[in-house]
Each structure stands twice: as structure tokens, then as C-alpha cells.
Amino acid sequence: MSQVSSAPPFDDWAKLASEGNFEEVSAALESVVDWLERGGMPLDISIQCYESGVLLSERCAVMLRDADLRISEIETRAFPGRVASLSDDDL
Amino acid sequence: MTGRVVSVGLLTRYLKELIDRDDILGDIWVEGEASNVHVSQAGHIYFTLLDAESQIKCALFRKAALRQLYLPRIGDRITSHGRVGIYERDGTYQLYVDVIQASGTGIVALERERLRQQLAAEGLFEPSRKRLLPVAPAVIGVVTSKDGSVWHDILTVLRRRYPLTHVILAPSPVQGDHAPEALIAALSALQEDLKVEVIIVARGGGSDEELAAFNDERLLRAVFACRVPVISGIGHETDRTLIDEVADVRAATPTAAAELCTPSMRELQTGVNALRNRLQSAYSGLLAARRGDHISLSTRLAHGTPAKALVVFRARRERSTIRLFQVRWHHTAVLQARLNTHVGLLNAFRPRSVLSRGYSVLSKSISDAPLTSIDRMTAGDRITAQLLDGTLGMRIESVLPHLTVQTPKL
């Protein structure tokens, strides 16, 4: 009863495992490991933690395996309009 | 104005205003030979610049003097930057110096040095304001030219090292008069995307003139004000531009910049493996602890069952039985031995066996008890002697008591 620490955030972990980017997923995995290493949980919660951890680590592995650099390009709108005035000022 | 008399003070103030208003006098490089150099107690440096035709007094105040890499000595040919102003009390004009360089440096380099010192004085290069790069940025912005190898090289590095990221190019010319404006626009366009975690400003190697945009004061201030950390990757190892000073991190080359803000896949893989191992061992540790608890409980439970007691009891009983047998056997043996002794004794005392050894039994008659003493026996009494195979009738001829052996008394 004296233990104030709340229950592990299983829902957050599940959400990250499906939607998170690599950093978020591996951070979640680390927090799962922290929970397990801290111990002091009922057995069924530990098992649930472990299952979350397995899910997250598999997600990490898949992300690393399937990683494909995303490339995009943005317009620098401000630029073209200013060219003329700049050259005028300089001359 | 003619015919009007003015005071010295008014004239001086008028001259001062004239000079202060002059753009050329407010920002000028002057070259000459240093003389009369002396340092005041407050740390200000005063000297005179001379050439064959004229001279000008110069003042380098302490704050500016502290920023100089080079300080003038008498006889040095130097180039000083500053503004010309009037010192009202003495009615003299002098050069208030903010930058000093030994002569022989080109004007571009002089200007760059002046800017460097100015920005340094403003704190743009302060190490304390350098931000840490994100370890594994989800989105990386790149400001560089779309043409040329730099963009391609950066992509190659990112693909190899950290293909998990999303890279956004804000294309910009990287040399020419318009480059600074374009670079600033690209930088600000990237900052509008809130997901961008770090920005690389890159350009391939080039001459000082080609790299000039990266010494542009406006760009430097834009980099300083950038919302996210900026890595500069300009030119080759040896190229130094002021953007390197103001950027949060200076990379020697564009590809080095891409490497600096990304973890390698191998590191990531190692990290994930390490986490997975920790996960396994933490979990199996917990399970083992649980199992240990369970086993000790089962053991304790087993200790308490009747089965255990039965076993103990059975063993104890077996031991007792064995002892019982042992005792019984021992007892019998003792009895047997004792019996044998008695039988032996009995045999020894059997009359026939005595008679067979040549003894005979005397008695008054066959029915009487055997004689054991001469007492009350007299000559002429009749007695019988029993031998092994018959009885003799006999008469006593004499009665002679045994002679008692007298042992001398001491």
C-alpha cells in the first residue's frame, strides 16, 4: 500500500510501438527495461511489461531493417522577390 | 555666418557634429607606422600613426584592446579600423580604433577580422551558448546548393548512417552576391517546419571569395538566432569562415556535418541489442526470483506433509527393528553361553563320570548319603562302596584322621 509509484504506462508503450519514430520507440523500450529492472511488480504486470518490451524491441529491429531515408525539398519563397532589390542596393 | 563670433566650445561642437555625421570617417581603415605607443593605467592604449606626410593620434580603449590578437609596438606598420572623432577638451581629432592588424593583410581579411571582433564582443561566438546536437534527429534540415556534389554526398552519408531520418533540403545558391540573402531565406524556411531538429549549412571547398557568403554579417546573425542547432560544414578542412564560429558545431566538411548529427546504424543496432538483453535478463531475473520463491514454498510445504513424517517414522521403525533383532540375538547368545557352562558343570558333577575316573562313593548303605567325613565312624563299621559297575560291602579297619599340617606361628 505504501508504494505510490503508478502502474507502467502500457497504453503509451502500445501507442509508440505502433506510431512512434525510432527514437521514441527505443526510449519506450528503455523505460520498459527500467521498470523491469526496478522490479517490485506483481507477476502479471511484469509479464505485461516484458511483452511490451518484446513488442517495442521488435519494432526497433523492423525499423532498423526497413529504414529508408526520406528526402524532401522546400521552397524558399522569400528568396526570388528579393534578388532584384538586393542587387539594386549593392550597386 | 560671416561676421558672427562663436565660442571655441561651439566651434568644436560644430566640428564634432560634422565629423560624426560623416559616413566615411565613421568607418575607415587607416594604414601607417605606429609611434608614441603607451598604455594608460586604465588599460587604454594610445599611439600615433605616421607616414611621410602626416600623423594622426589614435586611441584603442581597454575593452577593444582586450579583443585584439595583435597589439601595436613602436615602429610596426599597422592597419587600424575605427572612426575619426573630435576630443572636445583638447580640440584635437583622433582615430578611435576598434581593430588593429599588422599591415599586409588584404582588405577583405581586414573586414572579416573586424566583423569577427565585433560579433565576438557581442557574444555571438560564446561557447556557453552553443547548443548540443540531437543524438538521433527525426528530421534534419540542410541548406546548400541543389547542384553539385555536396547535397549528394550528404544524402550518401545519411543513407548509410542513419536512413531512419527525414532530410529536408532548402536549396540556396552558396556563392555570389545574392547568396547571403538566399541562405538566410533557406534557413528561415527550414525553421518554419517545427519538426526540424537540426540544420546543416554546407558548401564545398572554394576560394575566400567563393566562401564570402559565409562571412556575411546578416547570415551570421541569422545563424545565431536560429531556433535549432546549426552545424556548419563549409569547404575543406582548412577553410575557415565566420559561420564556423557562430554555428553550434563546426564540421570540417559537409559529410562530416552529416555524420556529426547522426548516430550510425551500427550504434543503434548495438543500442537496441543491449536494451533487448537487459529486457531479457531483467525479466528472467524476475521470473527466477519468483520461481525461487515458489520452490522454497513447495519445499516448505513438502516438509510439512504426512508423507515426510511417514518416511521418518518408517526409518525410525526400521532402525528400532534392527536394534531389536540385535538385542535379541545378543541376549540369546549370552544365554546359550551360560547354558553351555552349566551343562559342562553338570557333566563334571555327574556320578558316573566321577566313578569312571576311579573314584568311588562310600556310604553306610546304598540309600544313605555319601560319606564325606570320618566323624562318627569307628573301626568295625560296615559300609558300602559304589563303583562304576557294582557295590562292595566293606568293614572299616581303622579310623585315622588326617594329620593337620601345623604352620608355625610367627
Interface contact flag, A57 B286, Cβ < 8 Å: no
Residues 6+ apart with CB under 8 A from B410: none
Across A70-74, B244-248, B315-319, B329-333, least confident range: B329-333
Sign of CA dihedral B175, B180, B185, B189: positive
pLDDT of residue B316: 82
pLDDT of residue B235: 85
Is the pLDDT at B2 greater than 60? The verdict is yes
Task: Quote the cell numbers at residue B40.
Answer: 594608460
pLDDT of residue B405: 57
User: For residue A54, which amino acid is it?
Assistant: V
Q: Which residues of A touch B160 (CB under 8 A)?
A: none
Q: A with B: how many residue pairs have Cβ under 8 Å apart?
A: 121
Interface contact flag, B158 A64, Cβ < 8 Å: no
Cα–Cα separations (whole angstroms), residue B266 to B159, B254, B362: 13, 21, 128
Which of the two residues, B395 and B110, has the higher pLDDT score? B395
Residue B106 pLDDT level (bands cut at 50, 70, 90): low
How many other C-beta atoms lie within 10 A of the C-beta of residue B18?
Answer: 11
Contact with chain B for residue A10, Cβ under 8 A: no
Q: Where are the strands (E) in B40-148, listed by range?
A: 45-50, 55-60, 77-87, 92-102, 139-144
pLDDT of residue B402: 78
Q: Per residue in A6-42, pLDDT tens?
A: 788 999 999 998 888 888 898 899 999 888 888 788 8
Q: Per residue in B74-97, pLDDT tens?
A: 888 899 999 999 999 999 999 999
Q: Which of A67, A72, A73 sits opposite B163 (nearest CB)?
A: A67
Interface contact flag, B165 A70, Cβ < 8 Å: yes
User: Would you put residue B36 in left (φ > 0), alpha (ψ -120 to 50) or beta?
Assistant: left
Q: What is the mean pLDDT of residues B138-159?
A: 93
Contact with chain B for residue A16, Cβ under 8 A: no
Q: Which residues of A touch B136 (CB under 8 A)?
A: 22-23
Domain boundaries, chain B: 8-122, 130-263, 355-395
Do B8-122 and B130-263 share a fold? no
How many other C-beta atoms lie within 10 A of the C-beta of residue B291?
Answer: 11
Q: What domains are defined for chain A? A: 10-77 (1.10.287)
Sheet containing B361-363: give its strands across.
B361-363, B382-386, B391-395
Compare all CA atoms of chain A with the CA of B169 and give the residue at the minimum distance: A73
pLDDT of residue B81: 92
Q: Which residues of A touch B165 (CB under 8 A)?
A: 69-70
Residue A84 pLDDT level (bands cut at 50, 70, 90): very low
Interface test with B, best of A45, A49, A68, A70 (most B CBs within 10 A): A70
Task: Please check whether residue B27 is in contact with residue B83, taking contact to mean a CB–CB distance below 8 angstroms.
Answer: yes
Is the pLDDT at B238 greater than 80? The verdict is no
Is the pLDDT at B151 greater than 90? The verdict is yes
Cα(B1)–Cα(B6) distance, rounded to whole angstroms? 10
CATH architecture of B8-122: Beta Barrel (2.40)
Host H or E run for residue B393: strand B391-395
Interface contact flag, A68 B163, Cβ < 8 Å: yes
Residue B269 pLDDT level (bands cut at 50, 70, 90): confident
Is the pLDDT at B327 greater than 80? The verdict is no
Mean pLDDT for all residues in chain B: 87
Interface contact flag, B155 A64, Cβ < 8 Å: no
Task: Please check whether residue B384 is in contact with residue B363, taking contact to mean a CB–CB distance below 8 angstroms.
Answer: yes
Provide the CATH topology of domain B130-263: Rossmann fold (3.40.50)
Prediction ipTM score = 0.73
pLDDT of residue B96: 95
Which of the two residues, B114 and B249, has the higher pLDDT score? B249
Cα(B103)–Cα(B50) distance, rounded to whole angstroms? 13
Residue A87 pLDDT level (bands cut at 50, 70, 90): very low
Q: Per residue in A49-62, pLDDT tens?
A: 888 998 998 888 88
Residues 6+ apart with CB under 8 A from B55: B32, B35, B48, B49
Whole-number CA gyration radius for chain A: 24
Is the pLDDT at B182 greater than 70? The verdict is yes
Cα(B22)–Cα(B404) distance, rounded to whole angstroms? 177
pLDDT of residue A88: 38
Interface contact flag, A64 B170, Cβ < 8 Å: no
**Alpha-carbon gap: A3 to the closest alpha carbon of chain B (Å):** 18
Q: Which residues of B touch A53 (CB under 8 A)?
A: 276, 279, 283
Cα–Cα separations (whole angstroms), residue B86 to B10, B11, B39, B58: 13, 11, 20, 11
Contact with chain A for residue B267, Cβ under 8 A: no
Nearest to B202 by CA among B152, B135, B137, B134: B152
**Alpha-carbon gap: B137 to the closest alpha carbon of chain A (Å):** 8
Percent of chain B at pLDDT > 70 equals 95
Is the pLDDT at A89 greater than 70? The verdict is no
User: For residue A55, which amino acid is it?
Assistant: L
Contact with chain A for residue B157, Cβ under 8 A: no
Task: Please check whether residue B44 is in contact with residue B59, taking contact to mean a CB–CB distance below 8 angstroms.
Answer: yes
Interface contact flag, B283 A60, Cβ < 8 Å: no
Percent of chain B at pLDDT > 90 equals 41
